[in-house]
């Protein structure tokens, strides 16, 4: 049992990676459509690259979508809308007219006039008028019949029967009002105004639109249009090798593809399809793992960073799968270029391109015309990566989006010219989709922000914001410890020049240098660069107590950085800028004053850890030599060179760079830059020889 626990403890990182990649492979398999893949790739306007193709079975030649749609539109032009006669409306409105007439007559002539013969005659007139209107029908006007000629016929459903009726036999509310006025004038009752108002209030459409029957009739018309034209017999040659895939051959091949996928889907081959998809997905992820181990082992070692990359890949492929299943025409709207942009911002160009390729390969298994899709998205992704290669401004996201739109459009036009030989079939709506995809690419910025907050990563834009000396924390440093602030500025300039020379992250090292001594703010006067009055508080303290104050600025700096929510990458600079070295001044003073006493090194030693990257190592060197150079009374080129060599050799001897990937060549180049920068700071010139 203990042996198993020890084994799990020693191999938990490998197990974690195995679980992570197994999970992502399983999730990808789950979102893949369970359908076979047509094994031939072809494009309109290009030669057939495969062997002669013989039809394996009988299949119908499907009509092109544009042709089928044109026939359907032509058929629907003859479709007639259906309306329904509502007898309940007529009955209800007749009763309403009788009641409203009685109330109106009574209010005008009193209750005693209810038996007046004139009243009865007027009632009969208005009931006759309303009955005539409802018998013909008062129709509700919809878009389908508006502005139609009077001879245009519609279907009116009455009970279970439907009949064609011209619009000329029906009334609208407007024509019914004119009819009411005409009939009342003919009747000459003497109460025309009152009766007209009652009739108009009782008017209501009793011929109402029937969408259910209308749609059913439309569907019947569309279903009568055959979706195919002609047949290909089993054993018939479809196309021979080298033959040009023209429009006719292309449509036959598309029909064969559809027939093949339908036949495959109707058989019990799902397990084989699943096995094939699993194999291809697993091989793709193995290639990704091998790439990471070979070229980006540092990222592969961190499960957090691996998780970010795999999440981005999965979300993009899952979105593509859902789009293909529901609206395949909108696939071009998906912003695939978000993947390389986000990866490039967090990591590097090479990894961004490879992750983009992996994403396209996984998506290419699902999409039709995989070559065209991968070519278009790959070129656009490369352009997007180049657009944000050196991300320093947010405006670069807009430049990248514009570049993606132009690339999509150019590739579409080029493909169309290859396939059709002209731009006659140019679909302008495609450019709207390209524009939408480019606009969606701008969502990479909020996605980057979310990943920064969730996973604690830092982008160049964030580093630039943090390097602003007007940020609250640096502002406090300049106010409470101005000497330390100036020291940090000098260290930032020196470290930035050194890391640039050996090929590191200049923004990261600059930001780390600006914050590395923020722990000195709490007790600034105990650090020599802030002592301007000539009073040194260490004169009243013991050496061990003084050393503990000096050493504590690292711990306090880490606490202050976390309190102000600085990224962990910057906190690492605070932790490591002294490594595990000692506060040698006070340690040596203690040994000199107590030569016979055994002195413990622990109170004088910094807690560490030692630097673990080029950037943190360079900061340690720049910080040490800049601080030490301030004690030089007469700096010369020779003394500066000697100082730099001595300090860095001491750091090497105390194993401060054992966890860093610095080479001896890097250290030599760093020394050269440090000497050059210090000579520039102290205005040291080469001494001219004299005769």
Tell me how crowded residue 615 is: count the other CB atoms within 10 A of its CB. Answer: 26
The torsion angles phi and psi of 580, rounded to 5 degrees, stand at -115, 25
Q: Which residues are CB-neighbours of 189 under 8 A, at least 6 positions away?
A: 118, 121, 122, 125, 195
Using 50, 70 and 90 to split pLDDT, how confident is the model at 114? Answer: low
Mean pLDDT of 54-74: 80
DSSP H or E run through 161: strand 161-166
Nearest one of 201, 205, 204, 180 to 104, comparing CA atoms: 201
* β pairing state of 53-54 and 237-239: antiparallel
Write out pLDDT tens, residues 131-158: 888 899 998 888 888 888 888 888 989 8
Beta strands at 207-209 and 82-85: parallel, antiparallel or unpaired: antiparallel
Average pLDDT of 234-251? 80
pLDDT of residue 112 exceeding 70, the answer is no
Helix (H, G, I), strand (E, B) or coil at 331: helix
Please tell me the distance from the alpha carbon of residue 485 to that of residue 267, in angstroms, as a whole number: 75
Please compute the mean of the pLDDT values over residues 230-234 and round it to a whole number. Answer: 81
Per the prediction, the chain carries an average pLDDT of 85
Candidate from 63-72, 154-163, 471-480 with smallest mean pLDDT: 63-72
For residue 560 the two structure tokens come to: 């202050």
- As given in the structure block, the two tokens for residue 546 are 């003084």
Contact 43, 254 (CB under 8 A): no
Q: pTM for the complete prediction?
A: 0.64
Q: Whose CA is closest to 576, among 543, 548, 606, 545?
A: 606
Bin 454: left if φ > 0, else alpha if -120 < ψ < 50, else beta: alpha
At 338, give phi and psi (nearest 5°). -60, -35
**Using alpha carbons only, what angle is made at residue 228 by residues 37 and 212, rounded to the nearest 5 degrees?**
100
CB–CB of 653/667 below 8 Å? no
Rounded alpha-carbon distances, angstroms, from residue 402 to 387, 396, 444? 10, 10, 14
Residue 31 pLDDT exceeds 70: yes
Quick check: 455 and 304 in contact, CB under 8 A?
yes
Per-residue pLDDT reduced to its tens digit, 1-18: 566 666 666 666 788 888
**Distance between CA atoms of residues 338 and 323, nearest Å:** 17
Token pair for residue 36? 């076979």
The CA R_g of the chain, rounded to the nearest whole Å, is: 42
Residue 268 has pLDDT above 50, yes or no: no
pLDDT for res 8? 61
The span from the CA of 101 to the CA of 194, in Å, is: 9
Q: How confident is the model at residue 686 (pLDDT cuts 50, 70, 90)?
A: low
Query: Using CA atoms, how far apart are residues 231 and 684, in angstroms rounded to an integer?
Result: 91
Q: Average pLDDT for residues 262-288, to the nearest whole number?
A: 77
Query: Is the pLDDT confidence value at 270 over 70?
Result: no
Query: What is the secondary structure of 188-232 as a DSSP string?
Result: T-S-HHHHHHHHHHH----EEE-HHHHHHHHHHHHHTS-SEEEEE
What tens digit of pLDDT does each residue of 612-646 get?
999 999 999 999 999 888 888 788 888 899 999 99
Residues shown for the chain: 691
- H or E element at residue 563: helix 543-563
What's the pLDDT band for 38 if we cut at 50, 70, 90? Answer: low
Which string of b and e fits 430-457 if b means at least 16 CB within 10 Å?
beebbbbbbebbbebbeebeebbeeeeb
Q: What does the DSSP 8-state code read for residue 68?
A: H
Distance CA 162, CA 154 (A): 10
Where residue 496 falls among pLDDT bands split at 50, 70, 90? very high
Does position 228 have pLDDT exceeding 90, yes or no? no
Is the confidence at residue 556, as pLDDT, over 90? yes
Report the alpha-carbon distance of residue 538 to residue 531 in Å, rounded. 11
Apex 376 CA angle, 27 and 371, nearest 5: 70
Count Cα neighbours of 27 within 13 Å in the Cβ-side half-sphere. Answer: 16
CA pair distance 623, 498, nearest whole angstrom: 12
Cβ pair 119, 153 in contact under 8 A: no
The pLDDT confidence band at residue 687, using thresholds 50, 70 and 90, is low
Please name which of 414, 406, 482 lies closest in space to residue 441, comparing C-alpha atoms: 406
Q: Return d(Cα 257, Cα 240) in angstroms, integer.
A: 17
Please check whether residue 313 is in contact with residue 359, taking contact to mean a CB–CB distance below 8 angstroms.
yes
Question: What does each C-alpha distance from 640 to 621, 652, 674 come to in angstroms?
Answer: 14, 18, 9
Q: Which residue has the tokens 């890097």?
A: 666
> Which residue(s) pair with 171 in the sheet?
138
């Amino acid at each position: 049992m203990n042996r198993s626990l020890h084994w799990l403890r020693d191999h938990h990182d490998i197990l974690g990676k195995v679980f992570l990649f197994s999970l992502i492979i399983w999730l990808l398999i789950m979102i893949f459509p369970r359908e076979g893949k047509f094994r031939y790739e072809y494009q309109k306007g290009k030669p057939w690259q495969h062997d002669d193709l013989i039809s394996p079975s009988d299949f119908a030649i499907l009509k092109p979508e544009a042709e089928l749609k044109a026939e359907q539109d032509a058929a629907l032009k003859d479709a007639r809308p259906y309306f329904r006669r509502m007898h309940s409306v007529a009955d209800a409105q007749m009763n309403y007219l009788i009641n409203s007439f009685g109330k109106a007559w009574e209010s005008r002539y009193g209750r005693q006039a209810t038996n007046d013969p004139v009243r009865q005659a007027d009632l009969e007139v208005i009931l006759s008028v309303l009955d005539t209107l409802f018998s013909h029908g008062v129709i509700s006007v919809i878009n389908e019949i508006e502005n139609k000629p009077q001879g245009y016929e519609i279907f009116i459903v009455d009970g279970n029967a439907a009949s064609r009726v011209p619009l000329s036999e029906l009334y609208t509310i407007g024509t019914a009002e004119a009819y009411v006025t005409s009939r009342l004038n003919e009747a000459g009752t003497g109460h025309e105004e009152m009766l007209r108002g009652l009739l108009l209030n009782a008017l209501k459409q009793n011929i109402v639109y029937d969408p259910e029957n209308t749609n059913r009739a439309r569907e019947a018309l569309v279903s009568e249009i055959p979706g195919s034209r002609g047949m290909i017999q089993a054993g018939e040659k479809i196309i021979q090798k080298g033959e040009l895939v023209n429009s006719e051959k292309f449509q036959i091949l598309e029909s064969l593809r559809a027939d093949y996928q339908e036949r495959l889907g109707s058989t019990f081959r799902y397990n084989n399809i699943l096995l094939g998809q699993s194999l291809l997905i697993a091989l793709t992820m193995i290639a990704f793992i091998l790439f990471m181990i070979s070229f980006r082992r540092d990222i592969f070692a961190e499960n957090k960073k691996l998780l970010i990359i795999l999440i981005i890949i999965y979300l993009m492929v899952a979105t593509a799968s859902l789009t293909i299943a529901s609206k395949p025409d909108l696939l071009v709207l998906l912003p695939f270029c978000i993947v390389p942009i986000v990866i490039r911002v967090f990591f590097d160009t090479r990894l961004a391109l490879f992750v983009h390729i992996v994403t396209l390969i996984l998506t290419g298994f699902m999409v039709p015309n995989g070559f065209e899709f991968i070519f278009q998205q790959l070129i656009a992704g490369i352009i997007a990566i180049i657009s944000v290669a050196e991300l320093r401004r947010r405006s670069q996201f807009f430049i990248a989006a514009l570049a993606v739109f132009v690339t999509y459009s150019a590739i579409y036009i080029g493909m169309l010219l290859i396939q059709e030989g002209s731009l006659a079939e140019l679909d302008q709506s495609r450019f709207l989709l390209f524009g939408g995809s480019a606009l969606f690419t701008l969502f990479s910025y909020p996605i980057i922000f979310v990943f920064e907050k969730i996973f604690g990563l830092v982008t160049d834009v964030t580093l630039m914001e943090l390097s602003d000396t007007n940020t609250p924390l640096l502002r406090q440093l300049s106010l409470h410890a101005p000497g330390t602030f100036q020291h940090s500025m000098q260290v930032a300039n020196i470290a930035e020049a050194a890391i640039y020379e050996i090929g590191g992250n200049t923004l990261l090292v600059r930001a780390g240098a600006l914050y590395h001594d923020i722990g000195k703010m709490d007790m600034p006067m105990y650090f020599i660069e802030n002592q301007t009055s000539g009073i040194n508080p260490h004169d009243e303290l013991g050496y061990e107590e003084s050393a503990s104050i000096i050493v504590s600025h690292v711990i306090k700096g880490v606490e202050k950085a976390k309190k102000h929510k600085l990224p962990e990458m910057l906190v690492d600079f605070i932790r490591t800028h002294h490594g595990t070295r000692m506060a040698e001044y006070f340690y040596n003073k203690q040994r000199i004053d107590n030569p016979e006493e055994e002195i413990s090194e622990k109170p004088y030693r910094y807690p560490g850890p030692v630097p673990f990257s080029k950037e943190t190592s360079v900061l340690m060197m720049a910080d040490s030599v800049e601080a030490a150079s301030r004690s030089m009374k007469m700096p010369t080129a020779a003394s500066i060179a000697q100082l730099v060599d001595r300090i860095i050799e001491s750091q090497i001897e105390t194993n401060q760079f054992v966890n860093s990937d610095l080479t001896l060549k890097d250290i030599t180049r760093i020394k050269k830059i440090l000497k050059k920068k210090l000579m520039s700071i102290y205005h040291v010139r080469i001494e001219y020889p004299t005769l």
